Amino acid sequence: GTETKARKWEQKQVQIKTLEGEFSVTMWASGTDD
Amino acid sequence: DKKSCPDLAGTFEWDSSLNDPAFVAAPVSCFQHAPMADNWDNITVGMKVEVQNTDCDNFSEDFPDSFWVATVLKIQGYKALLRYEGFGQNSSKDFWVNLCSSIVHHVGWCAIRGRPLIPPKTVEHKYTDWKDFLVKRLTGARTLPSTFYNKVHESLKSRFRCGLNVEVVDKNRISQVKVATIEKIIGKRIHVRYYETDDDDNGFWCHEDSSLMHPVGWAHRVGHEIDAPPEYLDRCLSGVWDEDDATENLFPLQMRQKQQFNQIVSQLATNKQTGFVEGMKVEAIDPLNLSSICVATVMKVLNEGYLMIRIETYDADINCSDWFCYHQTSACIFAPGFCEANNITLTPPKGFEIGAFNWNAYLQETQSLAAPSFLFKQWEVPNHGFCQDMHLEATDIMDPRLVCVATISRVVGRLLRVHFNGWEVEYDQWLDCSSPDLYPVGWCQLVSHKLEGPRVISPPKV
């Protein structure tokens, strides 16, 4: 459920660069970042 | 890179099989010894990645400059079917990629390196501004952790290094180990050269977690036969090791096995039970023919829970050279009756017809005891995840430098029957679910080991 997701996955601001410019999106990345 | 590594010439590519809708690869998380097995549950369908964009002008593998975002549609072993964002339901440019390869990254990887994402040629005119599209597609989606590639790299490192001395089962006399030196390591598979062998001897291959390889001093400690130079035997007696000697700390599985054995000993003492004794009958996988489970005898009980077993299918060798060492916690030995209970054909002792063998009569006739079932590991069945018909890559234990395409043809508790595609069932191998000789689809590609394809029988020439 959400609780498991919160523990295993964390929200991240991810930077994207295209030919038109740069912006950021919120994505989920697994907790293996630790 | 096949171009720069001649050993990979002719390696089998799974890609055409992966497109078969019936194809199922055993998941990476089933292979505890495999790189990234611990983290693989976090790799999911629907995940977004940044991947080389091959749908562009002048694409060449030598100049892989262009990247775009793709969605993981399917996962088979280490391989994933990807579709570039913007293709919608159009599957024409879908492609399989090894998720652990260096052309796949977490979303955001390109921006960190200051590289813009370039949309594939097929869809580049579909949107005038890709920002809005990508925000919608990526917000709230999952991607790989930014440390994914480092984790892959870390998980590929061996505990061992070239030049270390180990004790390895002697391929020419399986009842003894022989001192050997590590010459090469590929994907934690170790190539050793035995001491004092001819130049044309091609040594032996095994995984670093294999039960066929032991630390220095092991044979001396457990009472196993060994072939070693005198100065090595002196070191065993003194316990003073060289810096090139691989000591017990490099063998965590065997250290754990030792702890398990000590627990078993104290448990048996508490219950006033005895463990394995010489002469006891068991069923065991034939180490020289892994497709057979045979009637066998415990010939000798060594220290620390090791047993010398003789397979009774063959004439007894007067020099005991056909004995083979199994640890008593090995999942390759079973209590008498295991095969019958699981509808497996038991290979009887020499002189018996298959089907005419009866354990009770045989125990009486030979006046021997059956090893009691509580002594065996077989009743511990982990939730291993392997199922019949799953595809994988497996070592040919009879020629362990070869890793081949294979299929699981049967699952009996923790025991797997592995079939080599294109070969007769006589070449099948019974292996434990935790065997380090089994690998996920895509492992060979990941570690740059050649993968042997299915045997193709060419039609006879007219």
Can you read off the two tokens belonging to residue B48? 């977004």
Which residues in chain A land under pLDDT 70?
A: 1-7, 31-34
> What percent of chain B has pLDDT above 70?
97
CA distance readout (Å), B53 to B39, B219, B271, B293: 26, 55, 65, 51
Contact B132, A33 (CB under 8 A): no
Alpha-carbon gap, residue B241 to B247, rounded angstroms: 8
Whether B350 shows a pLDDT value over 80: the answer reads yes
Which chain B positions have a beta carbon within 8 Å of A18's beta carbon?
A: 116-117, 130-131, 134
Alpha-carbon gap, residue B32 to B200, rounded angstroms: 35
pLDDT score at B61: 65
Alpha-carbon gap, residue B84 to B101, rounded angstroms: 17
- B110 to A17: CB separation less than 8 angstroms, yes or no: yes
- Phi, psi (rounded to 5 degrees) for A7: -75, -45
**pLDDT tier for residue B457 given thresholds of 50, 70 and 90:** confident
Q: Which helix (H) or strand (E) holds B220?
A: helix B218-222
Residue B265 one-letter amino acid: V
pLDDT score at A1: 42
Any chain B CB within 8 A of the CB of A29? yes
Least confident of A4-8, B212-216, B361-365: A4-8
Alpha-carbon gap, residue B408 to B435, rounded angstroms: 13
Compare all CA atoms of chain A with the CA of B42 and give the residue at the minimum distance: A30
Whether B378 shows a pLDDT value over 80: the answer reads no
Contact B178, B228 (CB under 8 A): yes
Alpha-carbon gap, residue B147 to B334, rounded angstroms: 43
Contact B286, B313 (CB under 8 A): yes
Which chain B positions have a beta carbon within 8 Å of A21's beta carbon?
A: 131
pLDDT score at A6: 47
- A32 to B130: CB separation less than 8 angstroms, yes or no: no
Alpha-carbon gap, residue A27 to B142, rounded angstroms: 6
Whether B1 shows a pLDDT value over 50: the answer reads no
List the Cα angle B57/B62/B68 in 5-degree steps: 50
Average of per-residue pLDDT across B317-339: 93
Q: Which helix (H) or strand (E) holds B82?
A: strand B79-84
Any chain A CB within 8 A of the CB of B152? no
Contact B85, B137 (CB under 8 A): yes
Alpha-carbon gap, residue B129 to A20, rounded angstroms: 7
Compare all CA atoms of chain B with the CA of A26 and give the residue at the minimum distance: B139
Q: Beta strand pairing status for B403-412 and B451-452?
A: parallel
Whether B4 shows a pLDDT value over 70: the answer reads no
**Average pLDDT over chain B, rounded to whole?**
93
Identify the residue whose tokens are 């220290």: B303
Whether B376 shows a pLDDT value over 90: the answer reads no
Residue B242 one-letter amino acid: D
- Per-residue pLDDT tens for B18-67? 999 999 999 999 999 999 999 898 899 999 999 999 998 876 666 667 89
Any chain A CB within 8 A of the CB of B129? yes
- Ramachandran quadrant class, B355 (left: phi over 0; alpha: psi -120 to 50; beta: rest): left
B60 vs B162, residue with greater confidence: B162
Least confident of B97-101, B193-197, B251-255, B352-356: B352-356
Whether B379 shows a pLDDT value over 80: the answer reads no
Any chain B CB within 8 A of the CB of A4? no
CB-side exposure of A4: number of CA atoms within 13 Å? 3
Any chain B CB within 8 A of the CB of A3? no
- Per-residue pLDDT tens for B116-142? 999 999 999 998 889 999 999 999 999
- Per-residue pLDDT tens for B235-265? 999 999 999 999 999 999 999 999 999 999 9
Q: What string of DSSP letters covers B228-243?
A: --HHHHHHHHHT---T
